Amino acid sequence: MKGEGKSFGSMEEVISAYQAGVIDLRAKIKLYWKGEALETSAGRVLLNDILPPKMRFINSEMTKKELKQLVAEFLQKEGKDKTAQFVDELKNLGFAYVTKSGISLGMDDLQEPETKEQIFAEAEKKWKRFISNMKAACLPTKKEKSE
């Protein structure tokens, strides 16, 4: 694989080398991270690049189970808003590199949740409650009207 065995002093160097075509996404490389030589890949560096510094460095295969655990840990440490951003970045990263890897997805690969109707019903309730609250907040009260 292109770039196999090369050494890098920072995540930025790895990303630049990958973007320049010097190393392949899955080539085994060495990254010197916090005084330690890690055997890793550009793909793992790209994943770690979207993590906050205090959650770096994940250097293992990320299966569906590990991704769920990572998102749960992220939620616990960073809160809902940052987690939503992270999941969006993770999705974008996945789609960007899955096309380069030659893996293809079809509609049959995407499963519809069994609780789809329940999810939509709950979302509809929340939306109606939100609209009701907005109307209540924007409409003057009887006391305000009489003044």
Mean pLDDT within 8-29: 91
Mean pLDDT within 107-112: 67
Quick one: pLDDT at residue 88?
A: 86
Mean pLDDT within 118-134: 85
- Confidence class for position 142, pLDDT limits 50, 70, 90: low
The mean-pLDDT minimum among 39-48, 64-73, 109-118, 127-136 falls in 109-118
Quick one: pLDDT at residue 78?
A: 87
Q: What is the DSSP letter of 114?
A: T
Q: What is the DSSP letter of 116?
A: H
pTM higher than 0.75 = no
- 29-33: strand order across its sheet: 7-8, 29-33, 36-40
Question: Hey, what amino acid is at 53?
Answer: P
Quick one: pLDDT at residue 137?
A: 76
> Token pair 């893996």 is at which residue?
103
CATH of 7-112, one of 1.10.274.100, 3.40.190.10, 3.20.20.70, 2.60.40.10: 1.10.274.100
Quick one: pLDDT at residue 6?
A: 93
